[in-house]
Amino acid sequence: MRSKELVVKRFWSTTGVVALTGALLLTSAPTASADYVRDKQWVIDVINFKKVWAESQGEGVTVAVVDTGVDGSHPDLTGQVLKGMDVTGSGDAQNDTNGHGTGMASLIAGHGHGTNNSEGVIGLAPKAKILPIKASSTGDDYRDDQWAEGVRYAVDQGADVINLSFGGSSTSPDPEATEAIKYALQHNVVVVSGTGNDGTAGLEYPAKLPGVVAVGAVDESLKVWKNSNFGPGVTLTAPGVNIARADTSEASGYAEGSGVSDATAYVSAAAALVRAKYPDLTAGQVINRLIKSATFLDHDVKKVPDEEYGYGIIRPYAALTRDIPKGPKQGPLAQSAPSTSTNSGTASDDDSTSQAKKKKKKSSSGSILLIAGIAAVVVVIGIAAVVIRSRRNGGNGGPGSGGGTPPAGTGYPPQPPTGYQPYPNTPPSQGYPAPPGQSPQHPNPYAQQPPHQGQ
């Protein structure tokens, strides 16, 4: 049994001072800034938070953040954080000396502060409640038995969504961790995790477990982040690069980082928005709505789900407003597991297929690969015909909009732990940089390109 060992790690976010001017691919003329931290939140303009909030703000929904704890005294989170539980036995769930858990909570349910809450970090679901589950004191020591206990506690406390911003190796977790995820799914809870911050093929656990929403990250240009893990099983992608967030480990109270952790938090927030507006939907049907409202913009995606984008980039407003059939109660991810059936049209191993796609390595499979390739072409042609017909039909959009979306894998990653090698080129969080002046505002790229499914 590995339950007494450190088997899970937090995904460190790439942080540091990055000059936005000249570094962003989507910019517009700078405008006067009331608050530097708020201006740094480029996601606000891209997703158009205000438009989303006209439909839902996450009222009545509880999101459990299994992480390093959540500091409920942070000015952007006052009144949002419940008591929670410290499964490490070392203290209070609201004692977050690391800052990562507080950061994730701020992206989900931060309400800002100051006049009209115009300062600080604003979350995508600012009226949702946060249930903090402290599963690590340092961000490096997530034990399977402990975070599994935290997941079960969250379920028993009535959490509607569980955010898991940590990940481990490609080997399976202990049975109690797997059973805890099953317990959450059986009790109608949306579980969200990340693909990993290595930029390589293969999802990590717990994101890889069946039924978990596996999230990758996109940058300001809405292209997949270079360090976002990919492969069969990616469910959705969301903003995760140069993200301003709360961080009580810093003197300023804020930090900026990049990673699938942040993307995961935004998907959890989107799930909270849908659960608030459509309380009659099951967890699976909430995921179905997120999937069928997602978009690929103008990215060249040949097959859905894609190994990098999954079913696409989240569109919270579309998820809240489109006419999407409920679909089966279990949703599209039930019974799902990574397999060659969700591969991108080749007959090679899942991971080697993805690696060939990303690294463009030559294959040496010889005649066997050639024969398999011919068979794959036949399959791809058939799939293409279905996709083309679906695009022409428009309407409810999304893969398999009539109900049974093909099974997809799961997973999403957060930040790294002690005792494990940190992900390459991903240093720990640093303090928020001093305001250099004004920063650019960003246009809404969602409005610039049609989604992949006819709306």
Residues acting as catalytic residues: 67, 100, 261
Q: Are strands 14-15 and 62-67 parallel, antiparallel or unpaired?
A: unpaired
The encoded tokens of residue 298 equal 């103008």
Write the DSSP string, 152-194: HHHHHTT-SEEEE--EE-SS---HHHHHHHHHHHHTT-EEEEE
Q: What is the rounded CA–CA span in Å between residue 113 and residue 80?
A: 13
The answer to whether 196 touches 216, Cβ cutoff 8 Å, is no
DSSP state letter for 115? G
Give long-range contacts, CB 8 A cutoff, 24+ apart: 175-180: 176/3, 176/144, 176/145, 176/148, 177/144, 177/145, 177/147, 177/148, 177/205, 177/206, 178/209, 179/148, 180/147, 180/148, 180/149, 180/151, 180/152
CA nearest neighbour of 276 among 74, 430, 52, 450: 52
